[in-house]
Structure 1
Amino acid sequence: MTGGPVRCEEQELRSLFLFEKLDSDQLARLCRDGRVYRFDPGTVYREGDPAACLFVLLEGTVVLSRRVGGQEVDVNRTSARGVYAGAFQAYLGDQVPQVYNNSMRITEPSRFFVLPADTFAEIMREWFPMAVHLLEGLFFGTKNTQEAIGQRERLLALGSLTAGLTHELNNPAAAAARAASALRERVAGMHRGLGEIAADPHQRAGLEQLTDLRASAADSISQPPALTPLQAADHEDAVVDWLDEHDIDDGWQLAPAFVQAGLGTDWLDRIARALPADVLGPAVHWLNCTVETELLMNEIEDATGRVSALVNAAKQYAQLDRAPHRRADVHELLDSTLVMLAQKIGPRIRVVKDYDRTLPPIPCYPGELNQVWTNLIDNAVSALHGSDADGTLTVRTARDGDRVLVEIGDTGPGIPPEIRDRVFDPFFTTKPVGEGTGLGLDISWRIVVNRHGGDLRVESVPGDTRFQVRLPLTATNPDTPQEQQS
């Protein structure tokens, strides 16, 4: 600031668009309570400081900036007379925090009319009571609407994810239940068969060989071969023929389990060579029960493993028991989101992961980034489901200078050029009524740009739409509050 304040001239104020409709008494009060200040280049006030004054530019150049991810980002630069900044929300009083919601600096010697915030609030309520009521209604109505629809957006996403996760969990849980029920029957049959063999003195001598044969098959059962349906059918026919040749009943029932376990006629020949002919039939039936028991236990292990993997993915997605701001592997976040959205993606869509695994963990709010991935992937899936042909969803990561690039691409119809610039606007949506709120991309933009100091943009032509998120590799301040709504 250069020198002390000087009294303003009413005529100069009247020449400003902000005050041109005021009468002489009103202008006189402004000049009585306000003053004109001349400032040297530099910072006038900083974002977050108590909002003490309203500043109206008389001459000079002003730059407004906001804090994004610990960095100052210029949002407006102007030399237009009459532009104002500072405590312009003072008329709301203690209904909102009265702090500067941006920073202001000047780049050349400049003059301002400066009015105390209390005076501005007082004259607004006295001179424009109806306007103040309208502005209050507009301010809080818009704020409440955004909060309500934002909450609905999150609830819709949560409902969709919950439905998909429930379906994904139900499949392995049902498989495990079926396998456990069948396992009970097989164990009972195995005990009966073993009891029959042990009760016959002539067959009892083969128990040790049976135990050895069962143990020798364990490796094959734990790692069964991958057979095509045609190969499996051929192997089953060969096993059935072998069983028929050795007068063993129900060969068509026994063969599938042996083939599934990778046990063929060579293994059956070993059994025939090791056991007397009168023991062979009961022994093969008993061995079949033990093989089915192992296969069922493998199925239960696989099913419970899938349940565990889904639960871990859900925990990773929700970031339970994790610090809100930490270094995280972006690939883990993307994978957990894909698992959560697997049911919605469906079998028609081919998912391609093109990951740069050399990328280091990045400092971020993982739970909030998962919300971004959910919104972008959900939009891509909606675009693909809306087309007739099967499509491809591509999730790509790469290093882009000092930033990490995460790209969500789809082969859908694309975004028309005339609406491409509007996709990040609040409440703008191309989805049918009831399927979208128009806040998904707006929320994503705020999380990426305001919360992480990153960048979110879109490139689109028919058959190739890509939403690109760039996030800094260097640490940002985890305590930086989210940008206030103005």
Structure 2
Amino acid sequence: MSGQQTPCDVAELGTLFLFEKLDDDQLDRLCREGRVELFEPGPVYTEGDPATCFYVLLEGTVVMSRRVGGDDVEISRTSQRGVYAGAMQAYLNGRNEEVYKGSVRVTEPSRFFVLPAEKFAAILRDWFPMAVHLLEGMFFGSQNTQRTIGQRERLLALGSLSAGLTHELNNPAAAAVRATSALRDRVAHMRQKLGVIASGPYARDTLETLVEIQERTAEQVAKATPLTPMEASDREDALGDWLDDHDIAGGWQLAPTFVQAGLDTDWLDQVAAAVDGPTLEGAVRWLNYTVETELLMNEIEDSTTRISHLVDAAKQYSQMDRAPYQVADVHELLDSTLMMLAGKMGSGIKVAKEYDRSLPRIPAYPGELNQVWTNLIDNAVSAMDGEGKLTVRTALDGDHVLVEFHDTGSGVPDEIRDRIFDPFFTTKPVGEGTGLGLDISWRIVANKHHGSLAVQSTPGDTRFQVRLPLTGSDTPAAPAAPDTPDTSEEST
């Protein structure tokens, strides 16, 4: 954009805090190589356009904004003379692609001193060569530092997840190993008992009846439903009494297995009716091995299924063998992240899911969204210090999907709420946090997904809210500023 050019007054430039230390020759050069322009209310320049000029406000009112999703969010509004914006990094001389990082407009007729970017760069290098070298070093050093620590942040997250995943895999794997060992023992005993039965005084029809009962017993084990502790105790007492009444030694050891399999005294009556009294104990113990075998096979199936689900969750989390940009279900991503972090949460933190399953799939970078979920969940877990409730909620919010992480932790103090998205800002002890988790999360949400990340917080009620557009593009958005934190209350 360009305005109406007006004369440049050296004396006026000298009154601005940016130029007050310059001598007359330097002020003359500014006036020769720059210009003064009058802008009517409206835009001065637009975010994302090539940064061609450096602007210094002489008089008027300027509004600076950043793009978040499809909206321009106002960052500041001022009438202070001397505020500057525009081609701030022209001194890099093309070593970094220079575009306007935000938009500037004026709300009333306003005058600016305007210096073309190439002139600005030449003046800085002529007058302040040492300062330019320092600025270049700081700029590229900061970029390298952020990149290096960003990689470190991802490695730390990966280490934490790996430890949690190892813990989660170890439990079902160990259970499967134990159950397999016990199963081998039970099968061996069942073979021995079968030999005893086969050589015993059982009639053919009795053996057929026993085999039929065995089949029905196996089916019953598969259909067994959990009992309350009180119900299980009462049934164990009843089965123990029945076994004692029928002179079967050690009935109290057999009763818990039968109860776990969903069997009762009616089932024992069927067994007693099928065999003679002297052979009843052998038949009951043989059926006990059948029950134990079925229960152990169920345990092995449950354990291996758990391992399979964990591996699937790890693949979902890492997006292994999948395109970086795809149409994804946010619930699948959330579930995989929660499963990966389950070991880190511990038993003191309860997780509640309040999903709107009617939400459509959205275009996204799933692997990077999983990193966002990881950072937000990890922060929530840290804030709750091992005890509390984490609620993960999804909902439709206009033309966006809302993903909210609500924790009952200590909250974000008012005095630091505006700083939590700043790079390297952390409240964790030295060595426990890089201060880049929320910064990286915000960049992924705002820059790559054209969405927003905001926080509402009071002690015991902190909500990080991610909003992602229902439609998108595979082209990352230009850098934008985080939403101003919203402290209003919202119920889940």
Q: Normalised by the shorter chain, which TM-score bucket?
A: 0.7 to 0.9
Gaps of 5+ in 2: 482-492
Q: Which residue identity does 1:88 align to in structure 2?
A: M
Query: How far 1:303 moved relative to its partner?
Result: 0.9
2:68 touches 2:480 (CA, 8 Å); kept in 1? Answer: no
Match of 2:141 in 1: 141
Match of 2:457 in 1: 460
Q: Which residue identity does 1:302 align to in structure 2?
A: D
Residues 165 and 194 of structure 1, relative CA distance in 2, 3 Å threshold = same
Residues 50 and 276 of structure 1, relative CA distance in 2, 3 Å threshold = same
SS, match of residue 217 in structure 1: helix
> Which TM-score applies when normalising by structure 1?
0.85
Task: Give the whole-Å Cα distance in 1 for the aligned partners of 2:302 and 2:111.
Answer: 74
2:447 touches 2:480 (CA, 8 Å); kept in 1? Answer: no
Residues 300 and 323 of structure 1, relative CA distance in 2, 3 Å threshold = same
Matches within 5 A, 1:153-302: 153-199=153-199, 202-277=202-277, 279-302=279-302
Match of 1:368 in 2: 368
Task: Give the whole-Å Cα distance in 2 for the aligned partners of 1:318 and 1:153.
Answer: 16
SS, match of residue 341 in structure 1: helix
Q: Which residue identity does 2:319 align to in structure 1?
A: Q
**Per-residue CA distance 1:110-146 (angstroms, 9 max, x = gap):** 5544433233222212210121122123223333333
Residues 315 and 92 of structure 1, relative CA distance in 2, 3 Å threshold = same
Q: Which residue identity does 1:347 align to in structure 2?
A: S
Task: Give the whole-Å Cα distance in 1 for the aligned partners of 2:407 and 2:102.
Answer: 37
Match of 1:127 in 2: 127
Task: Give the whole-Å Cα distance in 2 for the aligned partners of 1:225 and 1:73.
Answer: 56
Indicate which of 462, 465, 468 corresponds to 1:469. Answer: 465
Say whether 1:442 aligns with 2:439: yes
> Which TM-score applies when normalising by structure 2?
0.84
SS, match of residue 93 in structure 2: helix
Query: How far 1:200 moved relative to its partner?
Result: 5.3
Match of 1:52 in 2: 52
Query: How far 1:297 moved relative to its partner?
Result: 0.8
Q: Which residue identity does 1:143 align to in structure 2?
A: Q
2:67 touches 2:480 (CA, 8 Å); kept in 1? Answer: no
SS, match of residue 430 in structure 2: coil
Query: How far 1:169 moved relative to its partner?
Result: 1.2
Say whether 1:478 aligns with 2:474: yes
Match of 1:423 in 2: 420
2:355 touches 2:394 (CA, 8 Å); kept in 1? Answer: yes
Task: Give the whole-Å Cα distance in 1 for the aligned partners of 2:128 and 2:115.
Answer: 17
157-166 or 352-361: bigger deviation: 352-361
1:169 touches 1:307 (CA, 8 Å); kept in 2? Answer: yes
Task: Give the whole-Å Cα distance in 1 for the aligned partners of 2:319 and 2:139.
Answer: 33
2:403 touches 2:465 (CA, 8 Å); kept in 1? Answer: yes
Matches within 5 A, 1:94-105: 94-105=94-105
Query: How far 1:37 moved relative to its partner?
Result: 4.6
Query: How far 1:271 moved relative to its partner?
Result: 1.7
252-261 or 284-293: bigger deviation: 252-261
Query: How far 1:453 moved relative to its partner?
Result: 4.2
Say whether 1:346 aligns with 2:330: no
2:363 touches 2:473 (CA, 8 Å); kept in 1? Answer: no
Task: Give the whole-Å Cα distance in 2 for the aligned partners of 1:40 and 1:421.
Answer: 33
Q: Which residue identity does 1:407 align to in structure 2?
A: E
SS, match of residue 206 in structure 1: helix
Query: How far 1:245 moved relative to its partner?
Result: 4.1
Q: Which residue identity does 1:475 align to in structure 2?
A: T
2:446 touches 2:479 (CA, 8 Å); kept in 1? Answer: no
Task: Give the whole-Å Cα distance in 2 for the aligned partners of 1:14 and 1:143.
Answer: 34
Task: Give the whole-Å Cα distance in 2 for the aligned partners of 1:228 and 1:2.
Answer: 78
Q: CA RMSD in A?
A: 3.3
Task: Give the whole-Å Cα distance in 2 for the aligned partners of 1:370 and 1:218.
Answer: 43
Identical amino acids, percent of aligned pairs: 66
Query: How far 1:102 moved relative to its partner?
Result: 2.9
2:376 touches 2:464 (CA, 8 Å); kept in 1? Answer: no
2:173 touches 2:307 (CA, 8 Å); kept in 1? Answer: yes
Aligned length in residues: 481
132-141 or 300-309: bigger deviation: 132-141
Task: Give the whole-Å Cα distance in 1 for the aligned partners of 2:49 and 2:395.
Answer: 39
Matches within 5 A, 1:301-340: 301-340=301-340
Matches within 5 A, 1:17-32: 17-32=17-32
Gaps of 5+ in 1: none
Query: How far 1:89 moved relative to its partner?
Result: 0.8
Residues 8 and 421 of structure 1, relative CA distance in 2, 3 Å threshold = closer
